[in-house]
A and B are shown apart, each in its own frame.
Chain A
C-alpha cells in the first residue's frame, strides 16, 4: 500500500510572487484560512505553527524547504485533536509555477499544487486535510482574483 496522501491543484489568475506572499503573510493567511494564521519566518529550519483566532495552537512543525516563489515544504503535525496528533508528522509540499497557456485566450494563470502526505497508515489525518484544503485554496483563489474570499466559515474546532 502506498503512503496516504492528498493532492489538490488550483489555477489562479495572479503571479507566483503574489501566491508566495499570500501563503507566507500572516494577515493574508487569516483572510483565506477562516481566521487561522501562521507564525513563522518561513526560512528553512525555522519553526512553523498555525493558530486559531482565540490563540490556541492548531498545528505545529518546521519549514523544511523554502524557495520563494516556487516551493515550500512544511513538516506538519496536528495539535488540537489527540487522535490526529497521535498520527505524528505529515509533510506538506506546495509548488507554484506558471501554467502553460494559449496566447489570445483568457488570462495567464499560476498552477498551485498542494501535496499532503503522512507515513502512518490507517489514520484520519489525510481525510481531515482533504476536507480542508479545497475550502482554503478556493478562498485563496478568490482572494487573489477578486479581493474577497469565496465563503466564510467558523474555523476548525
Chain B
C-alpha cells in the first residue's frame, strides 16, 4: 500500500462548480464524462480504496496507471499516478492526485492537489500547472452547460527536457 504521507503538495487548483457533490463525483469517475473533458482519456477506476486506477487512450492503451489510496464518495478521491504510456517517463516516480469536494452554498468547491514524493523540478511541475486549469475548466463547463471546451494541450518543452534529465540521473534515489 502506498504511504500517502510521503507525498508533499506541489500544485493546488480550486474551482467552484454549480452542481451537487454527487454529480461532480460522477464526472470524475465515469469514463463517459472524462472522455469529454480530460483530453479524450477514459477513467477506469475500481470503486474502493486499494483498487486499480487508470486513464486510457481512446484506443484502450494505458496512459496513467495507479492505485486508489482514498475512495470516499462524494467527498474525497485520491489516486497514485504513474505514467505508463510514454517511454520517455521511464522510472519517473508516481505522484498522488487528490480531489476534495466540499459544499459551498448551493455549489461545490473542488480542490485538486498534485503531490510528489521527491524534490521534483519546477519544469516537471509545469506540466500539471498548465494542464489542470484546462481540464478542470472543461469539467465545469460540461457540468454547467453540457458542452466541454476544446483546449489544445501539449506537455511544455521544458517539462519534457526536465523529465529526460531526471530519468537519466534519477534524483529521487538521493
Interchain CB contact under 8 A, B141 and A13 = yes
The residue from A10, A109, A135, A146 contacting B144, defined by CB atoms under 8 A apart: A146
B141 pairs with A102, CB closer than 8 A: no
Q: A13 touching B18 by the CB < 8 A rule?
A: no
What are the residues of chain A within 8 A of B149 when measuring CB–CB?
Answer: 11, 13, 99, 106-109
Number of A positions contacting B (CB below 8 A):
31
A102-B150, A135-B16, A138-B15 as given contacts; A145 in contact with B141, CB under 8 Å: yes
Q: Mark A117-157, 1 if CB is under 8 A from B, else 0.
A: 00000000000000000110011011001101111110000
Q: Which residue of B lies closest to A145 (CB)?
A: B145
CB-based contact B16/A150 at 8 Å: yes
Supply 14 further A-B pairs (C-beta < 8 A) apart from A12-B137, A151-B16: A11-B149, A99-B134, A107-B148, A109-B150, A109-B151, A134-B15, A141-B140, A142-B140, A145-B141, A146-B18, A150-B107, A151-B105, A152-B106, A153-B105
Chain B nearest CB, measured from A75 CB (Å): 26
Task: Fill in one digit per residue for B112-143: 1 if any A CB lies within 8 Å of its CB, else 0.
Answer: 00000000000000000010011001101100
Inter-subunit contact A10/B137 (CB<8 Å): yes
Query: Which B10-38 residues sit within 8 Å CB-CB of chain A?
Result: 13-18, 36
Most-contacted residue by chain B among A11, A12, A13, A109 (CB, 10 A): A11
**CA of A135 to CA of B18 in the docked complex: distance in angstroms?**
12
Is B2 part of the contact surface with A, judged by Cβ < 8 Å? no
User: B16 to A145, Cβ gap below 8 A?
Assistant: no
Would you give 14 A-B contacts (Cβ < 8 Å), ordered by A?
Answer: A9-B130, A99-B149, A102-B152, A106-B149, A107-B148, A108-B149, A108-B150, A109-B150, A109-B151, A141-B141, A148-B18, A150-B18, A150-B107, A151-B18
